[in-house]
Amino acid sequence: MAPPLLHLRDISLTFGGTPLLEGAELAVMRGDRLCLVGRNGSGKSTLLKIAAGQIEADSGERFVQPGATIRYLSQEPDLSGHATTLAYAEDGLAPGDDPYRAQYLLEILGLTGEEDPKTLSGGEARRAALARALAPKPDILMLDEPTNHLDLPAIGWLEKELAGMPSAIVMISHDRRFLETLSKATVWLDRGEIKRLDKGFGAFEEWRDDLLEQESEARHKLDRKIARETHWLIHGVSARRKRNQRRLGNLNEMRQQKRELRQVTGEVKMTVAQADTPGKLVIDAEDITKSYGDRTLIDGFSTRILRGDRVGIVGPNGAGKTTLLNILTGLAEPDTGRAKVGVAVEMVTLDQKRESLNPRTSLSDALTGGSGDTVSVAGQPRHVIGYMKDFLFLPEQAPTPIGELSGGERGRLMLARALARPSNLLVLDEPTNDLDLETLDLLQEMLADYEGAVLLVSHDRDFIDRVVTSVIAWEGPGQWREYPGGYSDMLVQRGEVADRKDGGKEKSGDKADAAPAAPKGKPKSKSKLSFNESHALKTLPGRMSKLETEISGLKETLADPDLFAKNATKFTDTAEALQKAEDALATLEEEWLELEMKREELEGG
């Protein structure tokens, strides 16, 4: 058998207290496709840096085949010292490499090569670093979160590019679909140790759960044995002193073994603070358009988002996803058409760009707003240390500046901040970046239980499939269309993939030539609206508007903090009137929606 290109033996590394790596072993053979998985903070990026020669371990051996070339993609690349992105990408080339490949890769990734590295956004810097890593076609390619800041077309291109490369690849990614597509073996970093499965990521989670179950059973048996031996120590009759001393020594050894067992890292306790339930209608957008100069981003798009809907928005970078999101949520006005946010909608936005976090602010101050040691969660005070533990932060991390947190820790912090505020509309902009797979599972479960509406912008195909009830997809300049179901369902309806009964594989033909299949709907009747229905359709908006005004006035009255003390009867009567008005508005909205959908069906028929 040929020796490995790269071999790490007995690697150990400690930062402070608990060892991050203990006797870790990693072998990379020619042509390997390894995915490196583990919880945030388990040491995946550190192990990859050791393998790439970026940092040194406390102990152990790193062997690289003489002449083997390694390229490493960091989560936070350093482009300093280079005049342009092209100069940076070409700096990774070796003699004999294709001199034009760096320029080609930059253009594929949306860069010209003339950009000044000092002016790049984080996403642009990572794309330039990806071009630099891919340009020389190295023997070993090490990629740390390569899909971050890439749009769906770019991720699809990257999958095909990597699949066709002869390089051995070691990759870290939160993108399940990406790992399932490319990996042939899985390396699990768990509590400082490495376990390897010679199968791709698709088989990993079942294998991991089996190992954890076996470990739990072994731990339980050890506990029982310790209990039996302790009972003997207290109550047993001493027959032969030497034998008893040996048994006592065995008991102490078992206790020491139990102390040294590293527990499985706890799970994020993720709950969302839900506001009062709004009316059924959350967002109503009709024939909205938006242009900037000669460029039309949205051209005549309509949608209705109801309570309980989970809507994904997908499209390439620059297509107008953020613009569409801002118009739907009332943060921007369309040029024409209308977009209305329903009454009593309380929106919380998850800012995954993290610009709102001052790197010098401490972790605890970011959660409390710098006001004491409590954080308000759903209107109830929680001690900040207890709330930090829910998101897997240690008490000693409370004074840690945000700038010193890992990408995954900053992602968990943003979730903790967002989910503490009451809401009935969650707007999630790339929430999956830098979160580990277990945390993504819990976020998915939380969203499944969330009673409000969700707007999700993401390039994570698997997460979209798991979460959304419909997808708003970019169809071309200015054109957006809503499809029922998840991302895979959208591809089927577009005709870009065969029905999943046939394995869900892409067709070989050009997807632009595939005619989108119309979403299935109800059979359309040829009859007309009745006189009463037509009259109601005209008058309901006015009645709804009056109720919204009434509700606003009642809420303003109840906003007086001294009202109950001054006039308890008025407080009670106003609260009851508010409840009745909101119930009446919800009923009218539902009636109007049914009539409006019926009208559209008749006109379409």
Determine, yes or no, domain membership for 597.
yes
Domain that holds residue 559: 531-604
The reported pLDDT for the residue numbered 516 is: 38
Higher pLDDT, 423 or 199: 199
The reported pLDDT for the residue numbered 187 is: 94
- State yes or no: pLDDT of 133 exceeds 90: yes
Last residue of a domain, one of 260, 276, 299: 260
With a pLDDT cut of 90, the percent of the chain lying above it is 33
What pairing do the DSSP bridges indicate for beta strands 336-341 and 479-484? unpaired
Determine, yes or no, domain membership for 473.
no
Determine, yes or no, domain membership for 298.
no
Higher pLDDT, 357 or 23: 23
What pairing do the DSSP bridges indicate for beta strands 193-197 and 59-64? unpaired
359 and 400 Cβ atoms separated by less than 8 Å: no
Mean pLDDT of 384-412: 83
Q: Kind and range of the H or E element at 19?
A: strand 19-28
Residue 547 to residue 570: CA distance in whole angstroms: 20
Q: Which tens digits make up the pLDDT trace of 349-379?
A: 876 555 567 888 899 998 888 878 888 886 7
Mean pLDDT of 443-472: 87
Higher pLDDT, 513 or 595: 595
Sign of CA dihedral 134, 135, 139, 140: negative
Structure tokens at 188: 């699990």
Residue 541 sits in a domain whose CATH number is 1.10.287
The reported pLDDT for the residue numbered 29 is: 95
Determine, yes or no, domain membership for 248.
yes
Residue 325 to residue 432: CA distance in whole angstroms: 18
Mean pLDDT of 437-454: 80
> What band does 509 get if pLDDT is binned at 50, 70 and 90?
very low
Amino acid 521 reads G
The reported pLDDT for the residue numbered 308 is: 86
Full DSSP string of 554-596: HHHHHT-TTHHHH-HHHHHHHHHHHHHHHHHHHHHHHHHHHHH
Q: Please state which of the ranges 46-55, 244-253, 535-544, 590-599 shows the lowest mean pLDDT.
A: 244-253
What SS3 string covers 195-263?
Answer: EEECCCHHHHHHHHHHHHHHHHHHHHHHHHHHHHHHHHHHHCCCCCHHHHHHHHHHHHHHHHHHHHCCC
The reported pLDDT for the residue numbered 501 is: 38
Of 7, 3, 28, give the one whose Cα is nearest residue 140: 28
**Burial bucket for residue 585 (CB in 10 Å: 0-12, 13-18, 19+):** buried
- State yes or no: pLDDT of 221 exceeds 60: yes
Q: Please state which of the ranges 474-483, 493-502, 562-571 shows the lowest mean pLDDT.
A: 493-502
Count of H-run helices and E-run strands, the chain: 18, 20
For the sheet containing 193-197, what is the strand order?
70-73, 140-144, 168-172, 33-37, 185-190, 193-197
Mean pLDDT of 399-417: 81
CB within 8 A of 303, min separation 6: which ones? 283, 285, 311, 328, 472, 482
Determine, yes or no, domain membership for 358.
no
Determine, yes or no, domain membership for 225.
yes
Query: 3-state class of 331 per DSSP?
Result: coil
The reported pLDDT for the residue numbered 260 is: 53
The reported pLDDT for the residue numbered 355 is: 53
Query: In this structure, what DSSP letter does residue 505 have?
Result: P
How far apart, in Å, are the Cα atoms of 373 and each of 133, 369, 383, 399, 420? 45, 10, 6, 12, 15
Residue 223 to residue 207: CA distance in whole angstroms: 25
- State yes or no: pLDDT of 13 exceeds 80: yes
| Residues 344-357: b if buried by 16+ CB within 10 A, e if exposed | bbebbbbebebeeb
* Number of residues assigned to the chain: 605
The reported pLDDT for the residue numbered 473 is: 94
> What band does 83 get if pLDDT is binned at 50, 70 and 90?
very high
> What band does 511 get if pLDDT is binned at 50, 70 and 90?
very low
- The gap from C-alpha 404 to its chain's centroid, in whole angstroms, comes to 21
- State yes or no: pLDDT of 15 exceeds 80: no
Structure tokens at 403: 């700038």
> What band does 239 get if pLDDT is binned at 50, 70 and 90?
very low
Q: Please state which of the ranges 228-242, 437-451, 474-488, 503-517 shows the lowest mean pLDDT.
A: 503-517
Average pLDDT of the chain is 81
With a pLDDT cut of 70, the percent of the chain lying above it is 82
Q: How many domains does the chain have?
A: 2
The reported pLDDT for the residue numbered 42 is: 80
Q: Please state which of the ranges 148-157, 225-234, 280-289, 479-488 shows the lowest mean pLDDT.
A: 225-234
Q: Which tens digits make up the pLDDT trace of 263-315?
A: 555 555 656 555 555 568 899 999 999 999 889 999 999 999 988 899 999 99
- State yes or no: pLDDT of 441 exceeds 90: no
Phi, psi angles (nearest 5°) of residue 296: -95, 120
> What band does 199 get if pLDDT is binned at 50, 70 and 90?
very high
Determine, yes or no, domain membership for 426.
no
Determine, yes or no, domain membership for 125.
no
The reported pLDDT for the residue numbered 266 is: 54
Mean pLDDT of 541-556: 85
pTM, entire model: 0.68
For helices 437-449 and 407-420, angle between their N-to-C axes, nearest 10 degrees: 10
Last residue of a domain, one of 260, 292, 327: 260
The reported pLDDT for the residue numbered 526 is: 43
Residue 32 to residue 314: CA distance in whole angstroms: 32
